[in-house]
């Protein structure tokens, strides 16, 4: 899910979404700590690439 959102930020912006929040809804789901820091790494790379303008 994280990979899809960061790979389609133009579509996210077109949907007028201003922010994304990722967290585990239940104990058995993946968290930042158990996902190899993927959400953190994607966020850093997205910010360093300049982000996406709000629409």
pLDDT at 42 over 80: yes
The whole-number pLDDT of residue 52 equals 87
pLDDT at 55 over 80: no
What are the tens digits of pLDDT across the range 8-39? 999 998 998 888 888 878 888 888 778 888 98
In degrees, to the nearest 5, what angle opens at C-alpha 12 toward C-alphas 6 and 47? Answer: 45
**pTM of this structure:** 0.75
């Amino acid at each position: 899910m994280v990979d899809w959102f960061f790979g389609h930020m133009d579509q996210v912006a077109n949907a007028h979404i201003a922010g994304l929040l990722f967290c585990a809804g239940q104990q058995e789901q993946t968290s930042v700590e158990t996902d190899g820091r993927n959400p953190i790494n994607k966020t850093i790379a997205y910010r360093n690439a300049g982000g996406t303008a709000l629409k």
